[in-house]
Amino acid sequence: MKSTSIILTLVFLTISLSAKDKPNIIILLADDLGWSDLGFQGSADIRSPHIDSLASNGIQFTDGHVSASVCSPSRAGLMTGRYQQRFGHEANSPPESAGMDLEQVTLADALKKLGYRTGLVGKWHLGNQDVYYPNQRGFDYFYGLRSGSRSYFYNPKKEDKAGNAKGIEENGKPVKFNGYLTDVFGQKAIDFIHEEDDRPFFLFHSFTAPHGPMHATEEDKALFVSIKNTKRRSYAAMIWAMDRAIGKLVNSLKASGEFENTLIWFLSDNGGATGNASINLPLAGHKGIKFEGGTRVPFFAHWPKQFKEPKKFDPMVISLDIMATSLAAAGAKVNDLKGLDGMNLIPFIQEEKSTPPHKNLYWHKLWFSAMREGPWKLIYVQDYGYALYNLEEDLGESTNLIQSEKKRSEQMIAQLNDWKDGLEKPRWDEAEVWFRTHSKTHIRIIEGE
């Protein structure tokens, strides 16, 4: 299989930095967060001071994407640094018996070999069975849920009933929790980073917020009474709670003297969803589809020791780059990164390389595909056809240029199909209702309805 060479390569990762020089690495992953729904993204009604502070002092990826517009495949790409379609993880929500290909090396696997202790707090969504459990996929510590979403409060009659994959567990054992789940996750993350251990740490802080159900505390909702839409008020309060947890984590790092040499990534797993009152404007579309609103997300990196000058980084980047960049930061050799689709962004950020990290980016899930080539964006809808946009002039994807740019369209279609020919067959499917629903949405946007 194509994954074999990657496994062999990463098994022999070379440790070239001493433990004290290696940065701690944190991924802060929001869930279904809208493009415009943070202060640093221009929101007028949602407050996120701690996230905004990190962003304003870090590297903001203005054209930053995830590898899928839905939860599970996006996370598979993030955790492996590879297009998840290469190993059949194309559709969302694996069936009960399935999960992320066991031959894939995760970022946690690779960092453990580089001397890191590894922890995951929050949502997994890469397989419910024990064989796919985070502790089997490179994580020393896990506190969270196996599945995709759940109540934000303890519920022994539903999510927290014995055997439910949405129940909260700690290293394989069901646990009770008190309070609001985002706050609980935040404290568990702090507990993990301050364990008595001299090794650097990797923390994957995978929030469920602001994914539905739209649960927030009354105290947090009271801060947003000016928002008349009750669903959006809850959404704002959920983001506020996530921001609060991030602020406490940052303050904890500062108190321990670890903040300067901690590489922090922040992004969402996909664009804002239709059901949580999120806003993706001025981007077209939303979670689940191939327009920019589905895959372009708030995305930044913060690492004071190395990224000394905050800036906006405009070339295309993708969540797959997080693994390659994190491994390079942790001391992996260039050859150790072979087989990854992601790029080490450090030389691009530090302007040691002047070319863009990626010439092309690709997306594909069952019935829909997309490709970026610089500012050009190609979209394919099964049983309908193609659309082409110039994002430099038309960020909202409102003017289809497929007829006026025939030569470019033909070249990009051929290139997209060549890429798709190298993918593994999907290991599971999705209900046809998703094809009908998302097909109508794609066509409606393409035709300007």
- Tell me whether residue 250 is exposed, middle or buried, using C-beta atoms within 10 angstroms of its C-beta: 0 to 12, 13 to 18, 19 or more: buried
* 3-state SS, residue 437: helix
Residue 299 near residue 314, CB atoms below 8 Å: no
Contact 63, 315 (CB under 8 A): yes
112 sits in which H/E element: helix 107-113
Question: Active-site residue numbers?
Answer: 71, 125
Report the SS3 class of residue 433: helix
Please state, in angstroms and rounded to a whole number, the distance separating the CA atoms of residues 291 and 407: 22
Residues whose CB is less than 8 angstroms from the CB of residue 160 and which lie 6 or more positions away in sequence, other chains included: 154, 166, 167, 168, 174, 176
Q: Is 221 exposed, middle or buried (CB count within 10 Å of its CB: 0-12, 13-18, 19+)?
A: middle
Complete DSSP assignment for 363-410: EEETTEEEEEETTEEEEEETTTEEEEEETTT-TT--S--TTTTHHHHH
